[in-house]
Amino acid sequence: MMKKVNLPIKWRLTIWYGAVLSLILVGFASGIFIYFKNSLQESIDTKIRSIGEVLSSSMTDSHNTSVFGNFERYLENVLGKKPKGKFIQIMDSSGRIGAKMSDIEGEALPTSFSTLEKAMRGEVVYETTDRTKPRLRMITIPIIENKKVTSVVQVGTSLEEFDETIKKLLLIMIISIPSSICVTIVVGYFMAKKALRPVDQIRRAAVKISSSNLDERIDVSGRRDELGRLAETFNAMIDRLKDTFQRINQFSIDVSHELKTPLTILKGETEVALRKEREKQDYQVLLKSNLEEIDRMSCIIDDLLLLSKADTRKIKLDVEEVSLRDLILDVCMDMKVVADKKNVELEANELEDIRLKGDELKLRRMLLNIVENAIKYSHAGGRVRVSSHANNGYAIIYVKDNGIGISEMDIKYIFDRFYRADRSRKRASGSGLGLSISRWIAEAHQGGIEVESQPAQGSMFTIKLPI
């Protein structure tokens, strides 16, 4: 089996361009050649027919012997001048030549029987003979007297000049067409190379790109064509890749930090406990503290597994009809203990009786995360308010607090994994993934979460879910 040859695109474009242009040139040149050849032949035919018709008309009185006495003088009188490069003769029905004149030396005008027969029937006959040198173009015209063909006049002309002209034209075509094709192929190659330069730039940039080098970009200045847009798309893709790698790198650092901190605490407390004998209650305090750190790590790992499955779309929602009012009241009831412990007022009012299709457990977790976050970042004596209403086919849930708020710089990152706007609260309870999980749950239900906040004035989370 023959191996398929994969040529570069610029060579394929050049070959196709050259092939198409070659066909166009050959077709155009052939058309010009045929048209020019036919035009020349028509011009020759017109000239010899004109002579023949003049002679045929003037010889209706063929019995005038002066015609045959001095034929050349007769031709000069009729035609106004002696025809040059012509062969003229008068023949009767039997083929006997009555008069003739030749300006073609050493050649006799050949006449076939079929031609004479057709002329005697009143037909005008054109023919080209290759039996002479040079070739001749002839016309045979009947001479009619009293509605009867009595004789014929034949006019022939040399095709030597015609043949030379055609040979020169062919020579010009043979030289010019291949030359034009070669020039066109060369120009086409450089045009294709220039046009595909951005593609080559993309290839070179792609070769240089790695996880440690995402700064390579393609210069697209001055290009607004398809390849320019391709280069812009490539640059945008690299920007997204760079951002993704940065996020992954930061995520790895955050995960390491979040897991390393409780491990360090566990190790330190265990080492202190092993240095000397302690009372039973001291060990109980130590084990309780270690258990809290273990729970914290377990929570981080569980949340990471959940987000990992969410990213790979391996989690399916258990959709059922959910009463949003009952769900909010239930969540607020569960979080009231946390709110009372921090001396924060938690209230749920202005709740519309809305029913929607969704995964109740995941919606519950989403609301718990948002409400818990509001309580966590509220001052003692603060207030967290939860409300809801329906609007344009969506259920809108508001969770508003009057806590520490979020700065403009931090607010766009608030849903990122492990991101905390308040760096002083790194040891706060939870995994640092609650808001990321909440956003995923909302988006999984074809909804979304938005946040509005002012530092020292509080925040309001708006959850939008389709009914």
Encode pLDDT of 134-164 as tens digits: 788 999 999 888 888 888 899 988 888 899 9
At residue 5, does pLDDT exceed 60?
Answer: no
| Domain-wise residue ranges, the chain | 9-164, 226-311, 320-466
Encode pLDDT of 187-217 as tens digits: 888 888 877 777 777 777 777 776 667 777 7
C-alpha 329/C-alpha 79 separation (Å) is 122
**What value does the mean pLDDT take over residues 219-228?**
70
User: Which CATH number describes the domain made up of 320-466?
Assistant: 3.30.565.10
Encode pLDDT of 313-340 as tens digits: 767 888 899 999 999 999 999 999 999 9
Better-scored residue on pLDDT, 144 or 228:
144
**What value does the mean pLDDT take over residues 86-113?**
75
User: Which CATH number describes the domain made up of 226-311?
Assistant: 1.10.287.130
Asked: is 9-164 a CATH 3.40.190.10 domain? The reply is no
